[in-house]
Amino acid sequence: MKRIPILLYLFISTLAIAQKKAPDNWQTLDPKADKVYGTGVEQAYKTLDGKAPQTVIVAVIDGGTDVDHEDLKDIIWTNPGEIADNGIDDDKNGYIDDIHGWSFLGGKNGDINYEATELARMYMRMNKKFKDVDPSKLSGDEAKEYKEFEKIKPEYMKAQAESDTQAAQFSLLSDFITKVKKQSGGEFSKSAVKAFVADNPQDEMIKKRMKLILSLVNAKELDQQVTQGAGMIINMAKYNRMNVDSVRQYIVGDDPNNPNERFYGNNHVKGPDALHGSHVAGIIAAIRNNSLGINGIAANVKIMVVRAVPNGDERDKDVANAIRYAVDNGAKVINMSFGKYYSPDKKVVDEAVQYALSKDVLLIHAAGNESKDKDVEQSYPARELASGTTVPNWIEVGASGYKKGKTIIGNFSNYGKTKVDLFAPGVDIYSTVPDNKYVNESGTSMASPSTAGVAAVIRGYFPELKANEVREVLMKTVVPYKKKVKVPGKRKTKAKVSELCISGGFVNTNNAVRELLGLNKK
């Protein structure tokens, strides 16, 4: 699932903490040289001193990417074996006209935007099957499935109630902003909110909270994220009550209940909502030093766009097929800024992950944004396979901020002493979004591509390294952090970073480069 905008949680909880504006391109800066806890890639390029890298294809499995963005269009992968728009599978890879990648969320009848959660899909299927069944007459696998249904039913009801509450809150917030704009002649700003005349107690209460939030964050950004978040959460609440499998079957044309189906979809890689994927792609490889927008981390990358993540929970079969597509078409690094807490067809994803391992492809995954301890509650996909095997070509990433101190770990970030590998820039990251625009976003969705960019640099300059060896060097060369920090989601609890992730630190390109060049021993 693509995250609900983090900024909106600040409004709902009123737990915002004022921070200074992050330095431009802070994710590329270095803790030692710049006193900023970025990835150290600018220093790495100086250390590499003009050495020429190989080009690395990085697949972005996401909700879609704007391949025509001014800061992305020249680094988008183009399939060398395919002739554009001729309706023929020229390279015979099973996908017609896959020029810049593929979408597993589209078909002849359009493109999926919103989806239900996996929990809701599971509940709807089981409820249809068991609603008129006498459980005392069930046996074998059906009896086991009914027990699973009894377990997930209250979980679904609780989640849906929370979703309905959030949808109502978002609706109130959206309506309030509309009212402010109407009174002010179209403007939404701190001054417009201050001048707003509320005609009921509810709007007066929202006004007070809005004034607090606008003392901490930018009004334009808040307006944008309210629009984005309101559409997402309201539609999710709606779709969680629907038979989304029938919608899926009509649009995409596949069989939603066949996890082993391979070849379906279309080549609409931008999709109906390319904000998240475009932001991710920009962090990895937005064109450097072109006087536009931002500098991506990696200068040696082509971005392959693979659309498999809707606004809602991704389906296991789509994730598996997206990984296989990326591997088969030359990606050496795959970024996966998504996740969920149920995986009914985990087996097909596990098989795809093992396939990536067999082809020496590195998988980078966002740890999640629920302030959860992944040692206690795992999310999916994951490097721990159902068989008990743990794959070595996987990096699990939590989110961190630019400034040292007790709040350096993103308060929303998941963590885990044995599940999360390291932390990377994921708070207040400025990057590309559709229509040649740029915005700030926060989330482990940003930390994952920060790490993917670093991995691409290493794979380009040191191509002899295997995927597991890239992970090993990045883990070995993190910037350690010995002082205690606030544990995400626990206001009064502190811990060492080594208690929140395996490596105990923050990814750093320059440290990795120096290690590989033998400079750390001097």
Cα atoms found within 13 Å of the Cα of residue 246, Cβ hemisphere only: 6
Helix locations, 185-306, DSSP H = 190-195, 201-214, 219-239, 244-252, 275-285
Across the strands, what pairs with 384? Answer: 390
Check whether the bond before 381 is cis (ω within 30° of 0): yes
Helix axes 467-476, 444-461, angle to 10 degrees: 110
Domains of the chain: 26-111+260-516 (3.40.50.200), 118-239 (no CATH)
User: For the whole model, what pTM was predicted?
Assistant: 0.93
268 DSSP assignment? -
DSSP state of 364: E
Tell me, what's the pLDDT at 167? 86
Query: What pLDDT score was predicted for residue 483?
Result: 94
Which of 272, 271, 179 shows the shortest CA–CA distance to 226? 179
How far, in Å, CA of 500 to CA of 398, rounded? Answer: 9
What are the structure tokens assigned to 28, written together?
């590329």
Its sign, for the CA torsion 284, 269, 71, 443, is negative
Compute CA 48 distance to the chain's CA centroid, rounded to the nearest angstrom. 30
Q: What are phi and psi of 370, to 5 degrees?
A: -110, 15
Tens of pLDDT along the chain (522 residues) come to 555 544 444 444 443 344 567 899 999 999 999 999 999 999 999 999 989 999 999 999 999 999 999 999 999 999 999 999 999 999 999 999 999 999 999 999 999 999 999 999 999 999 999 988 999 999 999 999 999 999 999 999 999 998 898 888 888 888 999 999 999 999 999 999 999 999 999 999 999 988 888 887 788 878 887 877 778 888 888 999 998 999 999 999 999 999 999 999 999 999 999 999 999 999 999 999 999 999 999 999 999 999 999 999 999 999 999 999 999 999 999 999 999 999 999 999 999 999 999 999 999 999 999 999 999 999 999 999 999 999 999 999 999 999 999 999 999 999 999 999 999 999 999 999 999 999 989 999 999 999 999 999 999 999 999 999 999 999 999 999 989 999 999 989 999 999 999 999 999 999 999 999 999 875
Please give the Cα distance from 251 to 244 (Å, whole number).
11
- What was the pLDDT predicted at 12? 43
Q: In this structure, are strands 110-111 and 56-62 parallel, antiparallel, or unpaired?
A: unpaired
* Rounded distance between C-alpha atoms, residue 299 and residue 432, angstroms: 16
Using CA atoms, how far apart are residues 333 and 59, in angstroms rounded to an integer? 6
**pLDDT value for 247:** 94
Which of 195, 175, 217 shows the shortest CA–CA distance to 20? Answer: 217
Return the structure tokens found at 264.
């379906």
Task: Label residue 101 exposed, middle or buried (CB < 10 Å: 0-12, 13-18, 19+).
Answer: buried
Give the pLDDT score at 15: 38
